[in-house]
Amino acid sequence: MAGMVLLIIANAALLVGFFFYFRRRIDRALATDSIVKAIRDEVNQMIVDFNGTTDRNIALIEERIGRLQGLLSNADKRITVLKKESEKTKSSEDVYAQLKPRGPLPEPSIPKDPVRAKSPREEVLDLYHQGMDPKLIASRLNKTLGEVELIISLGERRR
């Protein structure tokens, strides 16, 4: 019986030892210092991740700003070219407007064929082949110089 009592006392001592051992481990695991340290480590890691994400986003934004500036520069160049072309068009329209006869011109003294009237194209080409100057042809037929020159150039191509 004394052996049994010793065995119970040894078991009780062992259980008390395990109790204090595991209690100390649980207290360490649940201690505020270790929890605070773990939270700080996790927050610091999150800050590092946020900084990396922010740097990447800033780099993307800067790259896109650069591309937009390039596109704006290209658009400005095209607008400048378009303005120059529209000014050229307007100036050429002004020149053609000045070339148009301003009022009624005297009746041309071109003999007309009573049998068959000639088309304006034929009249221009006939007068040109007779050696008449395109400006004079334009004034006689009440046409612009541009029209006469166009008819003459098209007529020369057909020959």
Interval 80-105: pLDDT, tens: 999 988 888 888 777 777 776 555 55
| Structural domain total, the chain | 2
Domain assignment of residue 109, yes or no? no
Segment 112-119 mean pLDDT: 65
Residue 35 has pLDDT above 60, yes or no: yes
The residue among 20 and 105 whose pLDDT is bigger is 20
**Which pLDDT value is given to residue 112?**
55
Domain match, 133 and 85 both: no
Domain assignment of residue 86, yes or no? yes
Domain match, 93 and 154 both: no
Domain assignment of residue 48, yes or no? yes
Domain assignment of residue 151, yes or no? yes
In whole angstroms, give the CA distance from residue 17 to residue 81. Answer: 93
Domain of 142, in residue numbers:
120-158
Domain match, 77 and 129 both: no
Domain assignment of residue 130, yes or no? yes
Domain assignment of residue 91, yes or no? yes
User: What SS3 string covers 73-127?
Assistant: HHHHHHHHHHHHHHHHHHHHHHHHHHHCCCCCCCCCCCCCCCCCCCCHHHHHHHH
Domain match, 91 and 152 both: no
Domain match, 92 and 126 both: no
| 48-52, 54-58, 99-103: segment of lowest average pLDDT | 99-103
Per cent of the chain over pLDDT 90 is 56
Domain match, 20 and 79 both: yes
Per the document, the length of the chain is: 159
